[in-house]
A and B are shown apart, each in its own frame.
Chain A
C-alpha cells in the first residue's frame, strides 16, 4: 500500500503567520509521530498519538505548537505566529503499535519562515 505522505512538501511563510502541516499515515497504523529536523541538527521529537489515547505532547517546544489527529488517521500539526527559528523540516512517522514497532517516515515538509 501507499507509504506515509505529507503535505505540502515545501511551505514558505511570513513571520507571525499560522501554518498547518498535514500527515497521512499508512492505513492501519495506530501510532503517529511528529519530529522536527533543523538544519544540521538531529531529529527532535515533538508529539505522538496512539489510538484513542491522549497524545504525548512532551516534545512540543512552545504553546504555539499543537497537533490533532482526526478519526485515528490523518494528523495536522499547527504552528501559530510562526518565528524564524521554526524553520525546519517537519517529519511524520507511523507504526503499527506504540511499543517500539518499526517506524515508517514520510518525505517531510520543509518550512521556511521569512
Chain B
C-alpha cells in the first residue's frame, strides 16, 4: 500500500528566503507525482506535475524534482513571498493503481 509523507509538517520563514519542501513515498512504481497548494477554506490548486520519466519541472519560482528510485520529491520555492503562505500537498499516482494518494501536507508561513 502506497504511503506518502511530507516533511516538515509546518514551516515559517521570513520573506525572501529560498526553501525546500519534502515528499516521500513508499512504492516507487508510480505514474507521476503532482504538487498542489491549498489556501485555507479553499480547494486545491495544481502547481506542478512530474511524470515518472522526468527528473524535474519548473514553473516560475517553483521547481519540483523527482527521484523515483529513492521515493522522494522536493518542491523548491525561490525568493518566498507572503502570498506563498498556504498548505502544500504532494500526491502520487500509482502505476498500477487507480487513484492518487496524498501526503498530509506542509503548512508554510512566509512572514513579511
A and B pair up: yes
A contact residues, range: 20 to 34
- CB-nearest residue of chain A to B44: A105
Are B98 and A102 in touch, CB under 8 angstroms? no
Q: What chain B residues lie within 8 Å of A35 (beta carbons)?
A: 102
Are B101 and A45 in touch, CB under 8 angstroms? yes
Are A33 and B99 in touch, CB under 8 angstroms? yes
Q: What chain A residues lie within 8 Å of B34 (beta carbons)?
A: 102-103
Q: What chain B residues lie within 8 Å of A99 (beta carbons)?
A: 31, 93
A-facing mask of B33-53, CB < 8 A → 1, else 0? 010100001111110010100
Are A102 and B46 in touch, CB under 8 angstroms? yes
Q: Is A48 an interface residue (CB 8 A)?
A: yes
Q: Is A59 an interface residue (CB 8 A)?
A: yes
A25 to chain B, nearest CB (A): 13
A-facing mask of B1-37, CB < 8 A → 1, else 0? 0000000000000000000000000000001101010
Q: Is B104 an interface residue (CB 8 A)?
A: yes
Among residues 83 to 112 in chain B, which have CB atoms less than 8 Å away from a CB atom of chain A? Answer: 89, 91, 93, 98-105
Measured in the bound complex, the distance between the Cα atoms of B43 and A43 in whole Å is 11
Are B89 and A42 in touch, CB under 8 angstroms? yes
- CB-nearest residue of chain A to B93: A100
Q: What chain B residues lie within 8 Å of A93 (beta carbons)?
A: 44
Known: A42-B104, A45-B101, A99-B31. 11 other contacts (CB 8 A): A41-B104, A42-B102, A43-B91, A45-B102, A56-B98, A99-B93, A100-B31, A102-B34, A102-B46, A103-B46, A107-B43
B residues near A, CB below 8 A?
Answer: 31-32, 34, 36, 41-46, 49, 51, 89, 91, 93, 98-105
A residues near B, CB below 8 A?
Answer: 4, 33, 35, 41-43, 45, 48, 56, 58-59, 91, 93, 98-100, 102-108, 110
5 smallest CB-CB distances across A and B, nearest first, come from A100-B31, A100-B93, A43-B102, A105-B44, A105-B43
